[in-house]
Amino acid sequence: MSMGPQSLPIGVFDSGVGGLTVLRALREALPRESFLYLGDTARLPYGTKSPQTVERYAKQSAQVLVDRGVKLLVIACNTVSAVAVETLREQFGPLPVVGVVEPGAEAACAATSSGHILITGTEGTIRGGAYERAIRRRRPGAVVLGQPCPLFVALAEEAWTLGDVPKLAARRYLAPHLDADGALDTVVLGCTHFPVLAGVVQSVVGPEVTVVDSAMTTAGAVRSLLEQLGLASPNPVPGQLALLATDDAERFARVGSGFLSTPLRAEDVELVDL
């Protein structure tokens, strides 16, 4: 039995290190599962690239994980989730594929009472409108606003998550959406870099506004799917973690340690070529 699909790792990929916030949430929710993570650090960022290019990169990244043997694919990248989930399902089915957008939209609809929701993300994610479509499918009358927060990515990668600088950036991005009548009641962290700035975002929007982290909600969706498909790991011990990157293991380890909340060394990261 031990060699059944249940014992295979879960494959997780992203354009870089941001997806490690999703991996961290997955490992907390599913401690007995093993994970194989790929960060396509040679070609990041994906957020500024065309949908065709993002789709091509996503297929190549997913192929590496599928070739090594995984039981489920998690797209830990909002940009790929916004444009390529269906393509990957077609190419790799019946392998289950989970993106971050649908669980994030689901959680936003569950959290909001006013129906006024703000999506924060990269310019590509906001421009693509995938969150807005996913929310409107569930809640047709919702008022969905989008706010690109490109500086958040740099702040997160510098581990600059406390103090005046991130707070000023958050205020600059978010304050215009906080109107006097307080209609806005939910903010979605629609970029995998953003969970490390959740505290700053919450302090700017105030305690009445719910901040939804799509990494945590994705972990919940994966857990439900594993149970539903009978793919949960039977191992009584904590699972293994293997990390792959396409460039610069040194930087991946340094920046990744902050996102994963676990010290990483460059030698823990295997370089692969796509």
Task: Give the C-alpha distances (Å, rounded to integers) separating 4 from 15, 69, 115, 271.
Answer: 30, 11, 44, 28
d(CA 184, CA 162): 24
Which pTM does this prediction carry? 0.92
Return the domain boundaries, the chain.
5-99+217-271, 101-214
pLDDT at residue 51 in the model = 87
Q: Given the residues 117, 174, 191, 226, select the one marked as catalytic.
A: 191
Q: What is the CATH number of domain 5-99+217-271?
A: 3.40.50.1860
The whole-chain average pLDDT of the chain stands at 93
Find the mean pLDDT for residues 133-140.
Answer: 96
* The domain defined by 101-214 carries CATH number 3.40.50.1860: yes
pLDDT at residue 1 in the model = 41
Tell me whether residue 149 is one of the annotated catalytic residues: no
Find the mean pLDDT for residues 95-121.
Answer: 96
pLDDT in tens, 158-205: 889 999 999 999 999 999 999 767 799 999 999 999 999 999 999 999
Edge to edge, the sheet with strand 72-75 lists 97-99, 72-75, 10-14, 35-39, 241-245, 269-271
CB atoms under 10 Å from CB of 199, counted, come to: 15
Tell me whether residue 109 is one of the annotated catalytic residues: no
Residue 68 confidence (pLDDT) above 50: yes
Q: Given the residues 25, 76, 77, 253, select the one marked as catalytic.
A: 77
Residue 244 confidence (pLDDT) above 50: yes
